[in-house]
Every structure is written in structure tokens, then in C-alpha cells.
Chains A and B, each alone.
Chain A
Amino acid sequence: MIFPSQQRFLICVCSTVLLLLAIVARFSPHALAWDQANAGNNEKSLLAFRAVASVLTSPRCLNCHSSYDGPLQGDDNHPHAMNVRRGVDGKGSSALHCFACHQAENGKTLHSPPGAVGWQLPPAKTPMAWKGLTMGELCRALKDPAKNGNRSLQDLIPHMDTSLVRWAWNPGPGRTTPPLSHDEFVSRLKEWIDTGAACPE
């Protein structure tokens, strides 16, 4: 038989032992190393995302990834001349498809239509609009299949290798290119994903 005073003593001893074990485990070299690695990964991931975002927010990307119901143009993101519309599938309106003017390659002269295989906007259902988002919002939108065209994080990598995305680095005369090279961009994207795809607040 255990008296109430003995019961209280045992509870107290057990609690103390458990607390000590928890403290030892928390501050063991192994736990501290894990913490450091994780914190490092988080920092690396955020830095990688900032590099990725510098490309995603460049005019070559934003001019299609906008909430406007059509493409934008120029480094000032003004609406496309001729009131060009997005269309349901992102390929223009019924008598003014993107491919009416945009070929598989860039026009060679200044102000002639740029071109690449698969020239289009995101479809109306998932416009993948990034313009005006904070870094955190952009990051979360990029990770959200409902907002990124139903892609997993790994699916983002092949998208960045399509002719249309690669066009941003070969946009034809008179157009600026993103701030990183394509190789560096893809490398930082992979780094962001591999380090946990952390997002800024």
C-alpha cells in the first residue's frame, strides 16, 4: 500500500527524472548539431528563394504572370498593344490567338514579335499571377498546386526548362534578361527545394 505522501514523492521524483532526461536530450551534441544544420538549411533556403524570386519578378516573367486579363509588355509591364486578351486557355481570343503573331522564334528586328515554341499565358482558371505579391506571398503561391498549375515542387524544375521559360534569356532585340543566368536560376531553384523550400514571412 502506498500512502498519499509517498505517492506525491514518487510523482515528484519521476517528473524530475523525466525533466532532466528531456534537458539532456535537448542539449546533447547530437541535438545541437541537428538544430544548427536545420537553421542553416532554413537560412540557405531563404537565400536561394530570394535569388529565384529575383528572376520570377523580372519583366520577362511578370509580363505573362500577371492578374491582368491579357499579356503585358516592356520593362514597365504595360498592357500589350492591340488589347490582346488572355482567352480561356491562355492562348488568346478566338480570332487573335497568340500564334497569329508569335512564331517559334524571335522576330529579328527591333519591336518585331518575340517567339518561342508554346507561346502562351497561364490559362484563365489558374492565371499564376505573381505581380504585386510580397516575397512571402510569391513563395507560397509557387508552392501551392492550386496556384502553380497543379505542380509539385519537383514539377517546377522541368517547367523552368521549357522553350517558353528559356526564351526569357534569349528575348530578342531590345528586351532585358533576368538578373541570373538560366543555369544559376535552375541551380538556386533546386537548392531552395532541397533545403526545405522555406518561405519568407
Chain B
Amino acid sequence: MATTRLIVNGKPRELNVDPAMPLLWALREQLGLTGTKFGCGMALCGACTVHVDGNAVRSCVTPVGAVAGKHVTTIEGLSSDLSHPVQRAWLQVQVPQCGYCQPGQMMSAAALLTANANPSDADIDDALAGNLCRCGTYARIRKAIHVAAELARSAK
């Protein structure tokens, strides 16, 4: 056990856990942020995607010790009022079917739009290739990312 200090969704937090504990466990079990989902536990499906210092990472294989002092953003931290362009686009396009993978899809989409404000279909496919959806909502995800890009541009 050790104390790890980090910033989660803009708030300073302390985690008194084994530094080898996966970040996903700490977020869900210690901090109660259950929006981030457990899928495969081996970084193969993308359901557990969060941001660390703005970059998408798989929280199921990221040890708590590796994020000490860093900024972690979960799906709950995109915005509290559904105002983030990705949240608005997901609602507008009605992307989810079962919804289980969608927090990870949205976090990858948000990371992509931060790096690339006007992604092409190929950019989207490359960036989200590691986020699997068993319902097959890929076409709606791609459409929603284009909508989110447009919403972000029109808000400026």
C-alpha cells in the first residue's frame, strides 16, 4: 500500500492502494466513478479508455503508480452538463445500442478531436480501431465524430 496523489476530473485525489493496482479498479472501487467499464482487462477492447494528461490510455493495464501527479479524466469528467461536443453529438446521432463500450468510444473520440479538429474517415478509423463494439455501431460512431467536430468548430 502507498499513497498516490493525482488529479481526477479536475479534483485532487489521494489513493491508498497498491501502486500496481490497475487504474480502472481504483477509479471504480475507490473513487466510485463507474462510468468507465471493464471489458477484457488486457487492453484489447478499449472499454476502459480514460485520458491521462489528455491522452487516451487503457485504464485496465495502467498501474495507479504510473499516473501519480497526473491529470486523469474519465467519462464523468468530459462535462457535467452534457455540453462537451462529443456528448452532444452522441445524443444527436443516438449512437449507442447496448452502450457498454460507449464511454471508451467517447473518450477516444474526444482525444482524437483534441489532436485533430477535422478528422477524416481514415483518421477516425485509425484512432478508434482499438475500441471494439459488439453491437456494431461503428457507422454511427464515425458519423457522431464528424458531428462533434462540426459542433466544436461552430462553438468557436
**Do A and B come together as binding partners?**
yes
* Chain A residues in the interface with B (C-beta under 8 A): 81-85, 93-97, 99-101, 103-104, 107, 109, 111-113
B55 touches A97 (CB 8 A): yes
A117-B150 Cα distance, complex, nearest whole Å: 38
How many pairs of residues, A versus B, come closer than 8 Å at their CB atoms?
68
A187 smallest CB distance to B (angstroms): 34
Q: CB distance B42 to A96 under 8 Å?
A: no
- Residues of chain A within 8 A (CB-CB) of B56 are 95-97, 100
Tell me if B141 is interfacial: C-beta within 8 Å of chain A.
Answer: no
Nearest CB in chain A: distance from B44 CB, A? 7
**Residues of chain A within 8 A of B62, CB atoms compared:** 103
Q: Which of B109, B112, B116, B130 sits near A82, CB closer than 8 Å?
A: B130
Question: Which of B55, B61, B125, B128 contacts A112 (CB under 8 A)?
Answer: B61
Residues of A within 8 A of B130 (CB): 82, 84, 96, 100-101
A192 to chain B, nearest CB (A): 38
A96–B125 Cα gap in the complex (Å)?
A: 11
* Structural contact, B127 and A100, CB atoms closer than 8 A: no
Q: Does B77 contact A (CB under 8 A)?
A: no
Closest-CB distance, A195 to chain B (whole angstroms):
43
* Residue numbers in B under 8 Å from A107 (CB-CB): 42-43, 61
Contacts of A95 in B (CB 8 A): 56, 108-109, 111-112, 115, 127-128
Q: Contacts A112-B42, A112-B61, A113-B61 known; A94 to B115 CB distance under 8 Å?
A: yes
Is A94 in contact with B129, judged by CB distance below 8 angstroms? no
Q: How far is the CA of A111 from the CA of B115 in the complex (A)?
A: 30
* A26 and B55 alpha carbons, distance in the complex (Å): 68
Please give 10 more A-B residue pairs, beta carbons under 8 A apart, in addition to A94-B123, A97-B56.
A81-B44, A83-B125, A83-B129, A93-B123, A96-B108, A97-B57, A99-B57, A100-B58, A103-B63, A113-B42
CA distance A82 to B40 in the complex (A): 14
Given contact pairs A82-B129, A84-B129, A103 touches B108 in the complex (Cβ within 8 A): no
Among candidates A83, A99, A101, A109, residue contacting B126 with C-beta atoms closer than 8 Å: A83
Q: Which residues of A contact B61 (CB under 8 A)?
A: 101, 103, 107, 112-113
The distance in angstroms between the C-alpha atoms of A122 and B4, with both chains bound, is 33
CB neighbours (8 Å) of A93 from chain B are 123, 126-127
Q: Which residues of A contact B31 (CB under 8 A)?
A: none
Encoded as 1 (CB less than 8 Å from any A CB) or 0, chain B from 123 to 156 comes to 1011111100000000000000000000000000
- Pick the contact of A111: B42, B109, B128 (CB < 8 A): B42
Q: Which residues of B contact A97 (CB under 8 A)?
A: 55-57
CB contact between A96 and one of B63, B116, B129 (< 8 Å): that residue:
B129
- CB neighbours (8 Å) of B57 from chain A are 97, 99-101
Q: Looking at A81, A82, A84, A85, which has the most chain B CB atoms within 10 Å of its CB?
A: A82
10 nearest A-B residue pairs (beta carbon): A94-B115, A95-B127, A101-B43, A95-B112, A83-B129, A82-B130, A95-B111, A82-B129, A112-B42, A93-B126
| A100 and B55 in contact, given A107-B42, A112-B42 (Cβ under 8 angstroms) | yes
- List 16 A-B residue pairs with CB atoms under 8 Å apart, sorted by A's residue number: A83-B126, A84-B129, A94-B116, A94-B127, A95-B109, A95-B111, A97-B55, A100-B43, A100-B56, A100-B57, A100-B58, A101-B43, A101-B57, A101-B58, A103-B66, A113-B43
